[in-house]
Amino acid sequence: MKQFKIGVFGTGRGMDIGYNLWTMGCKITAVCDAREENLTLTREFAEREKLDIAFCHDFDEFIEHDMDAVVLANFFHEHAPFAIKCFEKGIHVISECISNGTMAEGVELLRAFKKSNCIYMLAENYPQMIFNREMRRIKDSGTLGKILYAEGEYNHPTDVYDIGFAKNYRYYEKHWRHFNPRTYYITHSLGPCMWITGATPKRVTAYTVFNPNTDPNAPIASYSGGGVSVITTQNDDGSVFRVTGSANFGGHHNSYRVCGVNGSVENLRGTDEIMLRYNSWSSPDGIEIKRYKPEWNDPDEDKIVKSGHGGADYITARIFLKCLETGTQPEHPFDIRSAIAMSSVAILGHRSVLNGNIPYDIPDFDREEDCRLYENDDLSPHYRSDGRAPTIPASSHPDYKPLDSQLESYRKAMGIVKEN
């Protein structure tokens, strides 16, 4: 079997995926990160394992190294331009979180992909958590009947007073996390619903709860002011999803529910335990309610349980490696078209919030008329790496911004000088 050569762009989440691929026999040939301090752990890993890894700060230098595939784990909203550069060089891609930060990038990304012979996989790992795999198994058994509805909640509250967290994850004023609308971090809530049911969103509408921190001394630089977005999609099979982006209410949990004509299945909120319910007249074995802890039933269980995100990181890397070995694209919803659909839900969901909660159709960029509709749509709530400023507000209240005193507290906590 060929030993695949892997490059990693962005050493935080990127090396989580890269490390799992390495444990499966891949070779890490090059790593790239703009911040030298981010490379420290990877340098230590390379020295400990006596690995010959090239370390770079510039992507164009990095991509000249010998590699079959690249792990894209750079800033959340900036994956598409680098994926396109990979496609142009015939390099396969596994990309963290949303595939494109703007609608125009979605058009450009699919066009570039179709000109290449590359594999593209969205590195959305939450479907591979043990409870979601069990829900997929039950759905595939057919006992739930036709699926009508599903829910996905990714709730990840953070303490704004946790300075250590802020220094790791939002360390300068124009960082993407300070400008991320609540609908944007969508894949951890939407991805499992799509994977379990097989459905793809075709229309989206969304509402956001505005809940800014009013403490004048809080170290805050965020321009979103949102507590949670509730996003509803109508799907290609007629079903409806109700999902969150990255919600910010107590307490932290990942929860999913899938409902069919005959029964429903969910993980009990914030736990791995499964609740399976049937109608009394449609239960396959006469039992209406079952509660149990699912099992992996996987030959790699010993490696899975040692992996991050409840074992999901290992399985996600394994799926990508299988694609490389077989030369095939990943299944829905990890393929490029599903990835662009998820990104469109994120982006157009926020448009819905900003425009009176009206619905938006999810485009199909295999259709030229849909491409023409969005190929110049470069609206973004984020700062870009080339210095361009946001062109739409990040908040459901467009004029919202942190207080001057909050920004000063943030700068003091980060030890930074005011940015121009």
pLDDT in tens, 263-321: 999 999 989 999 999 999 999 999 999 999 999 999 999 999 999 999 999 999 999 99
Lowest mean pLDDT among 161-170, 314-323, 410-419: 410-419
Do the domain assignments include residue 26?
yes
Output the CA torsion sign for 106, 107, 108, 113: positive
Note whether 146 and 108 are same-domain residues.
no
Query: How many separate domains does the chain show?
Result: 2
Give 364 or 12, the one with higher predicted confidence.
Answer: 364
Quick one: pLDDT band at residue 418, thresholds 50, 70, 90? low
Do the domain assignments include residue 327?
no
Three-class SS state of 405: helix
pLDDT of residue 182: 95
Q: Which of 155-173 are b and which e, b meaning 16 or more Cβ less than 10 Å from the residue's Cβ?
A: beeeebeeeeebeeebeeb
Q: Express each pLDDT in 342-391 by its tens digit.
A: 999 999 999 999 999 999 999 999 999 999 999 999 999 999 989 999 99
pLDDT of residue 185: 97
Quick one: pLDDT band at residue 420, thresholds 50, 70, 90? very low
Task: Answer whether residue 105 shows pLDDT above 50.
Answer: yes
Do the domain assignments include residue 319?
no
Half-sphere exposure of 23 (CA within 13 A, CB side): 16
Q: How far is CA 73 from CA 64, 77, 146, 229, 303, in A?
A: 18, 10, 37, 24, 23
pLDDT of residue 325: 98
CATH of the domain at 61: 3.40.50.720
Q: Express each pLDDT in 239-279 by its tens digit.
A: 999 999 899 998 899 999 999 999 999 999 989 999 999 99
> Quick one: average pLDDT of 185-190?
97
Half-sphere exposure of 139 (CA within 13 A, CB side): 25
Note whether 73 and 144 are same-domain residues.
no
Beta partners for residue 150, in sequence order: 241, 258
Note whether 154 and 279 are same-domain residues.
yes
CA dist 81 and 109 (Å) reads 8
Do the domain assignments include residue 389?
no
Amino acid occupying residue 325: E
Task: Answer whether residue 1 shows pLDDT above 90.
Answer: no
Note whether 29 and 135 are same-domain residues.
no
Q: Express each pLDDT in 193-237 by its tens digit.
A: 999 999 999 999 999 999 999 999 999 999 999 889 999 999 999
CB-CB contact of 21 with 84 (8 Å): no
User: What kind and span of H or E run contains 44?
Assistant: helix 40-49
Mean pLDDT across the chain: 96
Do the domain assignments include residue 155?
yes
Domain span at residue 92 reads 5-122
Note whether 222 and 160 are same-domain residues.
yes
